[in-house]
Chains A and B, each alone.
Chain A
Amino acid sequence: MSKLKRFTLTSAVCLVGIILYGWIGLSQLSQPSIQLTTSPVLSQIKPFEAEADEPQAPSQLTLQASDRAGHALKNARIHLTLLTPPKTPWFTTDFPIVEGTTLLDMETLAPNGKLTLQQMLPIRGDYRLRVNVTPTVANAFAPIQETLNLSVSENWVKYRNLGILAAILFAVGLGGGWVIGNRQKIQPGEIAPQRVRLLLSGVTVVAIAALLFVNVSAEFAQSHGSMAMSHETEEAPLSDKPAKLNTQGLAVELSGDSSAMVGQPAKLQVSVVDTKTNQPVTEVTLKVTATQLEHHWGTFAYQGIPDRNGTFAWQQQFFDGAPHRIEVEVAPQAKATRQFKPFQVAQNVSVEGVAPPLQVRLIALAYFTGLVGLGLLLGLGLQRRRKQSLRLT
């Protein structure tokens, strides 16, 4: 082979390689994608704080589907499933029933490839957002499926209080060990102190029996895991607005589960129909809000449009065992021919709380009692050492 032919062949191979490398690299860089943004920024998002002094607002999550060039995908349908962080029985959150469950499942039309919603995030950990974007116009773009992560850090107050509790439990154990280990010898004829100590021991046994009775009775009183707490079984009050309303030529109905249980998503749906033609109406805006009625904080909010059947359906979990109110405001779209005065439909949902699993509570009890035990052993050891040093002197 001549030098010229060898050079030409080598150059051709290099050229093909460069083109292939560039094509693969370019295609990897510009894949259609879904971007998740939050408000407030991710580092500032804290999980829901029950019994908080200050009012809390749900976090805003925005999903934007883009094509290879980074342009927003038009005429998309977005299906979102929001999953809570996996179960952590060895370091539980305050809502263990919510761990590893579905918090929200919804499908909606997104004319600009964008979905914005507000959702209260109940616990710390890594949430997963399964997003499926499909075109509403056939073959407009290839469907996109992505699973996005949303990591929420724990409220520092819980760690601070845990530290304080651990210190108190250790001190209780240490004090107990110090007192129990400091047994004074019983003097001949000294009966009263011994009787007092025996009486105190007897009282301790009675207290243990009484506490055992109360706690075991409370566990058995639970019916199949539901929580028999006063505010947990509260019935939802009647809504001041109707769930079904015919007005201004529109028939709107909010339907779905009127009762729910923590850990399981409730099914809800709103539909809009033209009362004259009996045809579904799509040129309206639906503003959905879910509010906890005991302390009036918002748990979910979404503004969107109904599908071609005039319907918006979604599943959401109520993680707090208290009545909730679902309200949907129906308003005209800005450029729509049909204009009317906005109105609302509402429905109250009673939510049954569920007691944390016994296993999770027993694990935490073992940690806490273990701390007392460690303190106790240290107290006993210190007393023994003190006595030994006293004997030597």
Chain B
Amino acid sequence: MTAQSPSSVSVQRRATGWTLSVPVQSALYLSLSGLTIWTVFFTTYPPIHDAVHSLRHHTGLVSCH
């Protein structure tokens, strides 16, 4: 087992603190939500489009083809 130097521990703590901060976690959550919405309602990727075709045509504000 190798001991970590105090400086590397400090960097690791700061990185951990930044990653787990409310703004970063919120941004990650919002990005993942936005991409999931895009994938379900707006992507033209054929397998996904065909699977949710009916849902898209039955939801207001969603354009299909």
Residues of A within 8 A of B (CB): 49-51, 91-97, 154, 157-159, 161-162, 165, 169, 172-173, 176-177, 180-181, 183, 194, 197-198, 201, 204-205, 207-208, 211-212, 214-215, 217-219, 221-222, 227-232, 262, 321, 353-356, 360-361, 364-365, 367-369, 372-373, 376, 380
**Among B42, B45, B56, which residue has the most Cβ atoms of chain A within 10 A?**
B42
Q: In the complex the two chains form, is B35's CB within 8 Å of A215's CB?
A: yes
A212–B33 CA distance with the chains assembled, in angstroms: 12
Residues of B within 8 A of A183 (CB): 20, 22
Assess whether A95 is in contact with B63, with CB atoms less than 8 Å apart.
yes
B residues near A201, Cβ cutoff 8 Å: 19-20, 24-25, 28
Q: Which residues of B contact A227 (CB under 8 A)?
A: 44, 65
Interface string of B44-65 (1 = CB under 8 A from A): 1110011001101111111111
Distance between Cα atoms of A194 and B34 in the complex (Å): 26
Give the distance to chain A from B60, nearest Cβ to Cβ, in Å: 3
| Chain A residues, Cβ within 8 Å of B36 | 211
Contact of A50 among B30, B57, B61 (CB under 8 A): B57
Residues of B within 8 A of A154 (CB): 60
Q: How far is the CB of B62 from chain A (nearest CB, A)?
A: 6
Are B57 and A51 closer than 8 Å at their CB atoms? yes
Are the CB atoms of A51 and B53 closer together than 8 Å?
yes
- For chain B, what secondary structure do more than half of its interface residues adopt (helix, strand, loop), or is it mixed? helix
Contact A229 B50 (CB under 8 A): yes
Q: Which of B30, B36, B61, B62 has the most CB of A within 10 A?
A: B61
Is B33 in contact with A176, judged by CB distance below 8 angstroms?
yes
Tell me the complex Cα distance, A159–B62, Å: 11
A321 cross-chain contacts in B, Cβ below 8 A: 65
Residue pair A356, B37 in contact (C-beta under 8 Å): no
Complex CA gap A262/B36 in Å reads 28
Given contacts A51-B54, A158-B60, 15 further A-B contacts (CB under 8 A): A51-B58, A92-B61, A94-B57, A95-B63, A161-B58, A161-B60, A165-B59, A183-B20, A198-B19, A227-B65, A232-B65, A364-B63, A365-B41, A372-B34, A376-B30
Q: A207-B32, A227-B44 are in contact. Are A376 and B60 (CB under 8 A)?
A: no
Given the complex of chains A and B, what is the CA–CA distance between A91 and B61 in angstroms? 6
Q: Name the contact of B32 in the complex, choosing from A51, A208, A230 (C-beta under 8 A).
A: A208
Max count, chain B CB within 10 A of own CB: residue among A204, A207, A361: A361
Q: Write the chain A residue with the least CB distance to B64.
A: A94
Contacts of A96 in B (CB 8 A): 63
Q: With A and B bound together, what is the CA distance between A344 and B64 in angstroms?
A: 35
Assess A169 versus B37: contact at CB under 8 Å? Given A92-B61, A96-B63, A356-B63: yes
Nearest CB of B to A116, in Å: 29
A218 x B63 contact (CB < 8 A): no
Residues of A within 8 A of B53 (CB): 50-51
Q: How far is the CA of A162 from the CA of B63 in the complex (A)?
A: 12
- Is the pair B58, A158 in contact by a Cβ cutoff of 8 Å? yes
**Which A residues are CB-close (under 8 A) to B22?**
180-181, 183, 380
